[in-house]
Structure 1
Amino acid sequence: MPTSELPRLRSATGRWILLATILGSSVASLDATVVNIALPRIGAELETDVAGLQWTLNGYTLTLAAFILLGGSLGDRLGRRRVFLWGAVGFAVTSVLCGAALNVEMLIAARVLQGVAGAMLTPGSLALISSSIDRRDQGAAIGLWSGFGGVAGALGPFLGGWLIDVVGWRSIFFLNVPLVLVVVLVTLRHVPESRDPAGSISAARLDVPGAVVIALGLGALTFGLIDINLPLLTVGVLLLLVFVVIELRSDHPLVPPALFRSRVFTAANLVTLAVYAALGGVFFLLVLELQLVAGYSPLMSGVATVPITLIMLVLSAPAGRWAQQHGARLPMTLGPLLSAAGLVLLLRIGPGTVYFADVLPGVLVFGLGLAVLVAPLTGAVLGAVPATEAGIASGVNNAIARTAQLLAVAALPGLAGISGSLDDPAEFDRGFGVAIWICVGLLLAGALLAAVLVRPERREPPALRKAPELDTVDCVPQCAIAGPAVAPRDS
């Protein structure tokens, strides 16, 4: 559809498009958050240990991280609406399988398939806004997408925790079905199809070998880290090296090697790797600590971290604007340091924890650090490449963030001595303390990398010069614990 014929945001069609994209992205992002809250109940009912809970999270993250770039490429070539719909329907079907799981093995298998569906659903949300809304309104549309997604992120722990308390953990998966049904009906009726006019429908231009090899490599690493299996770890590392060779030789790689010729892009992704590894470990273990050791209910453990979301909603955009004017190095250095200080304060959590004295101070400082860091980090990634490559640069950064979380959740419990059953709160509490110090080390490493490798830049990033109003997207839906969203490739 020519740009001149695209609907304006204030039109009925524009509002329907926005509803479908917001609801689609919110279902995928909230599912990950709420599953964290449900982990202790899942462990108790399905009689699984820490490894089973690790796989409940990592089964989804593994396939999502491995295939999210391929999902974006499929949308460009086969049709963004079509792939978005495939992802939505797949997400609903796999959510039913998760909710109906009879044992942890069935739940993990369903989560793996759910990650594949999420890899088709997640990139399509922002891509549809870019391709289906008049360019004059795209900044406002993305701002609304970001804002409403942030509100959903704040409300999710309340609703999810309440459902887990009252109905049970299976309800958080079954709830996806009616929400996805709305997404599918609205998309079919109101969202136009679009694809990259320069792309080929032929699968020959898709880097399927790269996607398969990276999935196998990450899978081997995840298995190896959870089970402390050296042969599997070796296989995983070798497969990652094979992936690098494939990308160097491919004429259409998932991860274009040329992006890493930029020193700032490489530095920003190294910071992402360290920081998001810490975030993945913290959000996996913090909810378990609050429920198993401090005795919180699922609802209260979910509500406990809501201030992080609220702080990011308020402060992320101003932090992004400051970094545009003064450079990203200072906030990318200060943010991880503040978050590390917040984690040290969270070491006060234990038996008899009082929220306002022992939890809230750490949560506030930790959230402030993320608000200072995340938008400048995203701006540094986009500003390091030409505007025409902003979409794929954002996608690569997204995949690196998810991979960091995946490997952290796999490795951290073993490194901290948290293994076996969840029946000993004292043992878990000791391991939690060790894990927090490891995460503090990762955040300090991220700050050091930013201070050394990211030089001050006073120019505005090209992607933001093109549309200054887009700084409002540096917010929770694309930058919180799930990592930045995959922006659309320029057509």
Structure 2
Amino acid sequence: MSSSTVSPASAPGRNPAQRTYSRWASLVVLCAGTLMTILDGNIVTVAMPAIQRDLGFSAAGLAWVVNAYLIPFGGLLLLAGRLGDLVGRKRMFTAGLAVFTAASVLCGVATGQEVLVVARALQGVGGAMTAAVVLGMLVALFPEPREQARAIAVFSAVGAAGGALGTFLGGALTQALNWHWIFLINLPIGVVALVAAVRVLAPDRGTGLGEGADYPGAALITGALMLTVYVIVGAGERDTGGTLALAAVALALFAAFTLRQARAARPLLRLRLFRSRVLTGANAVQILMIAGMYGFQYIGVLYLQRVLGYGELLTGTAFLPAPIAIGVLMLGLSARTIARFGPYRVLLAGLVLVTAGTALLSRLPVGGSYLVDFLPAMMLISVGFAAALPALTGLAMSDARPEDAGLASGLFNTTQVVGGSLGLAVLTTLAASRTDTLLADGTDLLPATADGYRLAFTVATAIMTTALALAAVALRRPRH
């Protein structure tokens, strides 16, 4: 284990029961901090119409309530992960909780568009600082494979179920109170999590900024990632020429960063990470898997509200079976299933189920029934995701050295954000374009809207099929 991380499990003067308690108490703290950022990523979705009405956002401007969070979050994850290795992961985690909680309060009291967008960007900064180091801390806390599988299952359950739970809470808080409370709810959670983190998490020294503070490299990769997310989430608002020009600039920044890392004495990103076929393949699979999953959540909400006519609370309630199923399966079966069959087989089985669920959604009718047309597909997706995510997380971290755990964690979270942004941009753009074309041809609003969503789910099915094929080829380990 690296000297940069002192695990409670290895602290002197504690008996085994105390060490076990400390590690699992630390896991609870890490999950609480993660839950807050995950909830916030989804809780906004259902409240978007209310925010638009209250603050007067245009349709294009409303997208920046989401984009302002995603751009700094995705852009800073890799840098925050590396800085966590250097200055100490506990310091980075607690500082991120403090920034995120303060920014949430600012969002909650916002009465104008500019304040809300700026506060959302600050949330993205705090979320990146927190999320970037969590997996590295978890791997250090639980080095033994079986316990690590259990810990990853718990952590993944919180993340996956938290995303779906955010949809329910967003609807409930918006309808019962108002949209401000979807942000203000983070204040008590953040304060408790921050106090617990300071008291429970073991201190770690880090290797020191002098061991890897590649500031030119940090500027290049942060700029490249932020611009990439900006290009993806704003693609529907620009012409093709502008999008291609910005994409070319982002590629140039990535190329300059790669060249810098190959020559730097203390690189920010050790390129040896990508020599691992499993680590590289797992991150590529995650981009595709999260793209399909994020599209399902967002397009699913729109279908229930705009086609079936559900309100905010009813929409959130309709999604509630998903986090329940994900939580039960991940906590009760995931670790044991992975231990018995291996992460590779469990991942493939999970991706098959998710693909089948999105395929069912591609047939959603205009006068659909929630119980017949939507719920069965959602449960297939939930069960598949509950199997796939912990297995994929374990594979992504399995080849990382202890001194690179924070960086590998930041990389895994970065590809998650890129995948979510990509799925949101591509699927919503395709759905809107299809609907506009049908409306121009004289089709009624509801059939045109439903057909746009069916196209989005068809493309999501193709994305998930590609993820399944890639996982089958890239993540298969040779038998010895």
Class of the TM-score when normalised by the shorter of the 2 chains: 0.7 to 0.9
For the pair 1:4 / 2:12, whether they are aligned, the reply is yes
Matches within 5 A, 1:126-275: 156-189=166-199, 191-196=201-206, 198-200=207-209, 204-205=213-214, 207-222=217-232, 225-229=235-239, 230=241, 231-275=245-289
For the pair 1:44 / 2:53, whether they are aligned, the reply is yes
Contact residue 77 and residue 414 of structure 2 kept, 8 A: yes
Can you list the C-alpha shifts for 1:222-262, whole angstroms capped at 9, x where unaligned?
36513233232332333333333333334444443222222
Pair 1:448–1:167, CA change in 2 (3 A): same
Give the match for residue 279 of structure 1.
293
Larger mean Cα displacement after TM superposition, 17-26 or 145-154: 145-154
Task: Find the residue that maps to 1:4 and give its secondary structure.
Answer: coil
Give the match for residue 352 of structure 2.
337
For the pair 1:298 / 2:315, whether they are aligned, the reply is no
How far 1:172 sits from its partner (Å)?
A: 0.5
How far 1:298 sits from its partner (Å)?
A: 1.9
The one-letter amino acid of 2:454's match is: G
Pair 1:148–1:288, CA change in 2 (3 A): closer
Larger mean Cα displacement after TM superposition, 214-223 or 169-178: 214-223
Give the match for residue 434 of structure 1.
455
TM-score, normalised on structure 2? 0.81
Rounded Cα–Cα distance in structure 1 between residues aligned with 2:23 and 2:272: 36
Rounded Cα–Cα distance in structure 2 between residues aligned with 1:277 and 1:137: 29
Pair 1:123–1:390, CA change in 2 (3 A): closer
Give the match for residue 393 of structure 2.
378
How far 1:83 sits from its partner (Å)?
A: 2.5
Rounded Cα–Cα distance in structure 2 between residues aligned with 1:375 and 1:107: 34
Partner of residue 92 from structure 1, selected from 90, 93, 101:
101
Larger mean Cα displacement after TM superposition, 132-141 or 161-170: 132-141
Larger mean Cα displacement after TM superposition, 283-292 or 184-193: 184-193
Contact residue 64 and residue 118 of structure 1 kept, 8 A: yes
For the pair 1:30 / 2:39, whether they are aligned, the reply is yes
Contact residue 236 and residue 425 of structure 2 kept, 8 A: yes
Give the match for residue 412 of structure 1.
427
Q: CA RMSD in A?
A: 3.7
Partner of residue 364 from structure 1, selected from 369, 379, 399:
379
Contact residue 7 and residue 14 of structure 1 kept, 8 A: no
Pair 1:121–1:268, CA change in 2 (3 A): closer
Rounded Cα–Cα distance in structure 2 between residues aligned with 1:297 and 1:7: 54
Q: Tell me, which stretches of 5 or more residues in structure 2 are unaligned?
A: 1-5, 437-443
Task: Find the residue that maps to 2:12 and give its secondary structure.
Answer: helix
How far 1:324 sits from its partner (Å)?
A: 5.3
Rounded Cα–Cα distance in structure 2 between residues aligned with 1:148 and 1:269: 20
Give the match for residue 312 of structure 1.
326
Task: Find the residue that maps to 1:193 and give its secondary structure.
Answer: coil
% identical aligned pairs: 31
Rounded Cα–Cα distance in structure 1 between residues aligned with 2:362 and 2:90: 46
The one-letter amino acid of 1:243's match is: F
Task: Find the residue that maps to 2:309 and give its secondary structure.
Answer: coil
Task: Find the residue that maps to 1:101 and give its secondary structure.
Answer: coil
Give the match for residue 79 of structure 1.
88
Can you list the C-alpha shifts for 1:126-184, whole angstroms capped at 9, x where unaligned?
55667789999985777766666677666544433211111111111011112212233
Pair 1:365–1:380, CA change in 2 (3 A): same
The one-letter amino acid of 1:176's match is: N
Rounded Cα–Cα distance in structure 2 between residues aligned with 1:105 and 1:165: 24
Larger mean Cα displacement after TM superposition, 360-369 or 66-75: 66-75
Contact residue 56 and residue 111 of structure 1 kept, 8 A: yes
How far 1:308 sits from its partner (Å)?
A: 3.0
The one-letter amino acid of 1:24's match is: G
